[in-house]
Every structure is written in C-alpha cells, then in structure tokens.
Structure 1
C-alpha cells in the first residue's frame, strides 16, 4: 500500500523562483500591520472565525505578542496570497494546502523551515506529508480528509434509490432517477470553478489511475485518451442538466451557493471534502439536514484502472512566512496543544490530525465518522490538483473544468489548455 492519506507531487518547474522575484509591483499588505504577528485564515464564518480569533487572543495574552487576525473567503484569500507571494511578503502565519503552491513559495525562499518545531509529537506524522518538501517541514496541519459525495438520504429514498452507486454508470442512472422524481440531483458552485475540477480530476483518476496522472504531470502531457474521456464524461453529465438553477454563477459558500442548497435540503448530492457539512450549515443559516446527511466515495469508472478506494484528498494547515518573528513557532505549538486541537475539531466539525486522536476526538459525530471510515478504506490519495500543481496549472484546470461544464470547451480543448499551461512553465 502506498501513502494512504496524501500524495503531494514535487512539480515545481524550472524558473519558478524568477517568477516570484521580489521585483513584483504588488504592495505587501501583510507588511503594513503594526501587530507583532499577522495571521490569515479562510474560516470567515462562525464558529471557526471566532475560534481562531479566541486562540490568537489567548496566545497574545500569554506571550505579550500582538496578533492581527484576518478571516478571508477562500477565493479572495487565494488572490491576496498570490499578490503577496509575488511581492515576496507573506503573512507571518497563513493557511496552506501544501503541494505545488507551497513548494513554489518555498523555492522562492518565502516560507520558514519548521522542521525543528518541538511540538510535532502532537501530530500524526502522516498528516505532515503534504507540507514536507525535500525532507523539510514547512507547515502544521489542523484538518485532513477526503473528497466524496455528501448526499441526502431522504431525497434518495423519495426517488426510490435504495443503494449508493459504485460505478459511474450507476451514478448517472441515479442522476436521471432523481431528475425524473423532480429532485435536483447535484448542487454545484460553478462560479468558483474549483468545485468543478473535483469531477474532472476524479474521472481522470479512475480512467488513467494515479500513476497515469503522475506520469502526465511529470511529462506535461495530458493528451492521452483517458484524459479526453474524462472530459467527455463530465460534459455528458453536464448535458443531463443535473445542477441547481443558476449554478453557473453560484459560489460555493455564499448564502445562495452550493453548500447552502445542500444545507437547505434542495439538492440530493454535492461532491465536497470533509468540511462540507459545516459549510452547509454556515451558508444556509440552518442546522443542515442532520442524520439525513451521509457520504459515499466517487464511483469507479468502467474500464479504468482507478478504484473507488483512491481518493482526492487533503486538508488545511498553517505555514509561517520566512520573515515571521521567532515567536511564531511558539504560536504554532500553542495551536497544536491537545485542548486547542480539540476546540478546532469540535467548533469546525473537522477531522483530527492528532497523534492521539482519542484525546482530541473521543466521540466523533456521524459526519466525522464518515470521513474516518473513508480514510480507513483509502489505498491512496491525490492532493487537489489546483494545489498539487504549480498555480498556473491549477488555475488552468479550474478554468477548463468550468468551460467544459458550461459547454464552452470540448474535451480536446481541455487537454490542449492544460498542455499549453505546462509548456509555458518549462
């Protein structure tokens, strides 16, 4: 068995450091603060917005260091962090998913090496792998898990569906059955693009396997028939019109977006990570659908070598900017104290990265248990492509995924765009 949780790729192309040179014209927001420590994260809704603030305040009181906390929506965060990266001025502590994006920042000398952090014994070593580059550690994790279909058991039952699909053919049959019953099959935040890339990535994983995906990335060539077929299957799904009305411009986490549609019980499924149930509640302003919410893996695709035990996955972590004060390591260790990990897991409905999971998550709820069970069955996992690959490649895959679903691109156009993006990185 290969690594059962994360499969980060060392995919930083030559010349990356030059792209991230300090001569970029962007203004360094993180350097303008009068605080001792700047802390950027993406949990911009309560309860986690307040939890991170409280942890920062408590550490500030203990350490005497002032902390300026910025809670930033995901897409805005990516844009701002890209600007700061180009300016060579990253926040002292900031959210990261690891992979190629973090690797580029490391290559440019913008991230602190925390390999000697004294509190790493509080973390499951497997959870550190996405943030380890050339044998050195550059971030601490706070969450990990996998992407799969969260589904509404009541809506499935209403449509007469008694079993979750295990193959793509069964999945599309269920989509049609839900449509015939007057139920919106899938919630999708098409305006944010990245939720769409999960579909193409999974289809490619199933049709070419993880080794095939890795080989294509290493060569920069996605022209193989499996990648074209992945695009065709996604285009065929979109042609079934399975998504909620207005999905084209809907975001993931806004009040009328993908997560809200699921949280309000208005769609039967969404393809999302371990954070999905909490965002459903946050975005909809409801308690979600409770025990009616369940989880199943992305199905196998007939004829492909990939299996349903190979997951798209990852988690959230925090990296420290290279210019952060030395006290940042004490702050990171404060966040990793077991009682603080427990607060994050409870308030954010997250999975645990603790070395001693029972101390942090003694009684997982049914949503957390679903993620735990999926991880237990995983034989391998691929990091989200918009994080595993260099930023220009990841954004191209997101753009192309949206274009494919909207009917603006063909499957052949998709792979051509990705190949051109890889060629530009050389």
Structure 2
C-alpha cells in the first residue's frame, strides 16, 4: 500500500496501533474479580446505570452472589474488550453488538452457547436475535434494537428557514449551508471517538452501491470501485463545508461539551446517531434536551442503488463468558422479566425487543416511537461496520473515515487502507 501524502502516514500508523491493541499488545483491564459475577456494560449514565446496579444487587441477594458491575463509556469499553478477548479473560456478562466481533469471540471459545438455555427466549422478538445468531446458534441476548438516523432540532431548522427535512444528499448539503448562514452549527460530531464518524461513510456507501454491493465487497474483502470512492468523496465534500461544531476534532460522544451535549443544549441542529441519542442528549447536557426533536433517515444519493428505507443500525445485547457460572445466564432472563424490562425501557429510553411490545411498553415515548416506526417500514438493515466486520477491519474503517473528515487522506487512500486491512485478515 502506498503511503498517502502529508499526515496520512501517521493515520496508517494509527491503524497499526489499533491492530496491536486488538491483538492484546496494548494494556487493558481483564475480567478478573473477586466477585462471583463480573458485568461490563455501557449504560454509564443514570437512571439506567443505577437501575442495572439495583437489578444486579437484587439478583445477587436472591442467589447469594456478589456482582462486580462496571459501567464503561462506549469507546473505552471497546478499548478494554479487545485486550480482554485476546487474553481469554472476558467478564462473565458483557455488552455486545453481535456481528463479526461476537463471531471472533465465539471462534476463540470465549462465549457461552445460549441456544436452548434462555428460559425467556419466547418473550423476545425473533428478529432481534439475528445479529447474535452465528451458524444457527445463539450467543447473546438482545435488550434493545434500533436504527441510526438524523436527530434534529426542529426549532433550529425553522430558524434557518428549513421547512422539512432533506430527502436527497444535495438537499442535505443545502440545508447545512442554510444553517451556517443563520449562524447555527449544523452538525454535532464526536471526532475523538471515531465511531460516530464512520456512520457517514457507511451510509453513503449504502446509498450509492446498495446493501447488496456492500455485502459483496465484504465477502470479497475488496472495496475497490467507483461507488466506494464516491462515498469517500462525498464525506470529504461535507467536511469541506465545515459543518461540525467548533472543537469537534477533540470532542467525545457522551461527555460534557461533547456531541450529545451540544445537541441537548441546543447548540447544534442535528446529529447522526442511534436510538439511544435523545436520552444521552439529556444526560450529557443536564437539560431536558430540545423541546422539538425530530428524526429523519439518511438522505438518498442521486443515481445510487440504495433506498432511503435501508437503515444502518443494530441492537444492544449481553453475551456470557464460556466459563461463567450458570447464574449468569439466569441473570439475563432476570433483566427481561416483564416488570424489570418495563422499568429499563423507561429508564434507558430503550427500543423494546419484546415479542409483545404492548405488554412491557404500553406508553412508549415519542422518541422511541419514531425508531419503532422506522424499523417497521425498513426494507433492509446493515449492522454498524465496526461491529459487522472483524475488529481489525472495523477499526481501520473508523480511523480512515476520521482521516477523510479531517482532510488527511483521499477517498483512494481510504480504499487502500481498508483493502490492506482485509488482506491482512485473510
């Protein structure tokens, strides 16, 4: 692979650093604990963080078990799970998005086969189980599912003279310019976390080559082609408009002054994020969030093969370590007991995965309802690429997208980096 011009050499080195971290060469916490059950999750904001702790305490009291519960920020969780997986010392219960990351953990013998082991399986929508099913066997239990779209401040759009959400990429860029002309930062982005940025390239690739094209490229381990380069060009085109909030390069997602906080405080007009966004906006900003929060799908690209009803998304679930005590599996179903799950849906603003949604969420809030409606009309879905693909591939896609956004690499460089990562994985 040729060395891109200017700073991209450092970015390529960063890709190698990610591979080292994921292979266990970087330091990280292990799953070791004196507790009977260790549980790593990413619900690191109240009220759900405290609710999860309460459930662990109650279950522990009932079964005479001790829990070590660690609520970890999203990116930090990913950084810790790589070395933990490589060392073979994973927590008894841990967060998972399924896909390629879970598949690698399964192949390494780290995850318990839950097929036929969950007494609560009939209470879960079978569709929600698909991301956690590998070679016909179930390896995790979902508790939330949804899609990524643009959450937008309706009042700020109106202030900029925008009467309706954009449907096409050209309309989207025009709206970005209108917001800037009105003195409003168009988009909130957590540049330091990388993963929020990868949504842009992924969606543009989906809209241009379609889900079939994306699937074929992954199967071949080759993202060469005009469509994928065009996706990179359009990311660069957006970034050239300087649409993100000041200091986005060093901003994190869920921390104070980060992406979600900017939305919650009404500083920025929109963010591209999943079903959890409204709650994190409130948590991170310490406010009630925008008074009028809307939701729209990623725009279509003229001439592209992808449809606006094809969504990037996925769910949140929990896997159990292969050597975890049997009670760890029981605990998963404890979380799904109707009374407990109903409370978690409210406290965490979760999108239910229940087979009977009405039974656990009769009064689903308006934000969650938007996501449910999007799922109901979806003609196809794609799991986040940094979870759908092996960790080394997903990490490079995240880093390369950051390079596009910062103007450090070209779309051609992007393709070379990703293809080289696939080749190394083969």
Sort the TM-score into its range (normalised by shorter chain): over 0.9
Provide the residue aligned with 1:215 in structure 2. 216
Provide the residue aligned with 2:282 in structure 1. 281
Provide the residue aligned with 2:79 in structure 1. 79
Q: TM-score, normalised by structure 1?
A: 0.93
CA distance in 2, matches of 1:27, 1:293: 38
Provide the residue aligned with 2:8 in structure 1. none
Q: TM-score, normalised by structure 2?
A: 0.93
Provide the residue aligned with 2:90 in structure 1. 90
RMSD value over aligned CA atoms? 1.4
Matched, 1:34 2:25: no
Q: Deviations over 1:244-274 (max 9, x none)?
A: 0000111111101000000000111100000
Mapping for residues 332-351 of structure 1, pairs under 5 Å: 332-351=332-351
Provide the residue aligned with 1:206 in structure 2. 207
Provide the residue aligned with 1:140 in structure 2. 141
Provide the residue aligned with 1:13 in structure 2. none
Give yes or no for contact 1:28–1:89 (8 Å, CA) kept in 2: no
Provide the residue aligned with 2:65 in structure 1. 65
Partner SS state of residue 262, structure 1: helix
Partner SS state of residue 187, structure 2: coil
Give yes or no for contact 1:275–1:349 (8 Å, CA) kept in 2: yes
CA distance in 2, matches of 1:20, 1:106: 16
Using the TM superposition, give the Cα deviation of residue 29 of structure 1 relative to its aligned residue in structure 2, in angstroms: 2.4
Provide the residue aligned with 1:16 in structure 2. none
CA distance in 2, matches of 1:405, 1:27: 29
Provide the residue aligned with 1:357 in structure 2. 357
CA distance in 2, matches of 1:25, 1:301: 40
CA distance in 1, matches of 2:325, 2:60: 14
Give yes or no for contact 1:263–1:286 (8 Å, CA) kept in 2: yes
Provide the residue aligned with 2:123 in structure 1. 122
Q: Deviations over 1:371-426 (max 9, x none)?
A: 11111110110000000000000000000000000000000000110000000001
Using the TM superposition, give the Cα deviation of residue 125 of structure 1 relative to its aligned residue in structure 2, in angstroms: 0.7
CA distance in 1, matches of 2:280, 2:306: 29
Provide the residue aligned with 1:262 in structure 2. 263
Using the TM superposition, give the Cα deviation of residue 45 of structure 1 relative to its aligned residue in structure 2, in angstroms: 1.4
- Pair 119,299 (structure 1): closer, same or farther in 2 beyond 3 Å: same
Mapping for residues 2-401 of structure 1, pairs under 5 Å: 29-31=30-32, 33-116=33-116, 117-290=118-291, 292-401=292-401
Aligned length: 405
Q: Deviations over 1:38-78 (max 9, x none)?
A: 01101111111101101101111111111110111111111
CA distance in 2, matches of 1:247, 1:422: 29
Give yes or no for contact 1:159–1:181 (8 Å, CA) kept in 2: yes
Give yes or no for contact 1:27–1:87 (8 Å, CA) kept in 2: no
Give yes or no for contact 1:35–1:67 (8 Å, CA) kept in 2: yes
Structure 1, unaligned runs of 5 or more: 1-18
- Pair 27,177 (structure 1): closer, same or farther in 2 beyond 3 Å: closer
Using the TM superposition, give the Cα deviation of residue 20 of structure 1 relative to its aligned residue in structure 2, in angstroms: 9.1
Using the TM superposition, give the Cα deviation of residue 135 of structure 1 relative to its aligned residue in structure 2, in angstroms: 0.5
Give yes or no for contact 1:253–1:260 (8 Å, CA) kept in 2: yes
- Pair 378,27 (structure 1): closer, same or farther in 2 beyond 3 Å: closer
Partner SS state of residue 189, structure 2: coil
Q: Deviations over 1:100-138 (max 9, x none)?
A: 000000000000001112210111111111000000001
Partner SS state of residue 104, structure 1: helix
CA distance in 2, matches of 1:259, 1:28: 27
CA distance in 2, matches of 1:241, 1:344: 38
Provide the residue aligned with 1:10 in structure 2. none
CA distance in 1, matches of 2:160, 2:361: 35
Q: Deviations over 1:314-373 (max 9, x none)?
A: 011000001101111111111111111111110001110111100111011110111111
CA distance in 2, matches of 1:178, 1:147: 22
CA distance in 1, matches of 2:337, 2:124: 10
Provide the residue aligned with 1:11 in structure 2. none
Give yes or no for contact 1:310–1:379 (8 Å, CA) kept in 2: yes
CA distance in 2, matches of 1:209, 1:306: 4
Provide the residue aligned with 2:7 in structure 1. none
CA distance in 2, matches of 1:26, 1:148: 35
Provide the residue aligned with 2:11 in structure 1. none
- Pair 193,24 (structure 1): closer, same or farther in 2 beyond 3 Å: closer
Runs of 4+ displaced beyond 2 Å? 23-29
Give yes or no for contact 1:41–1:70 (8 Å, CA) kept in 2: yes
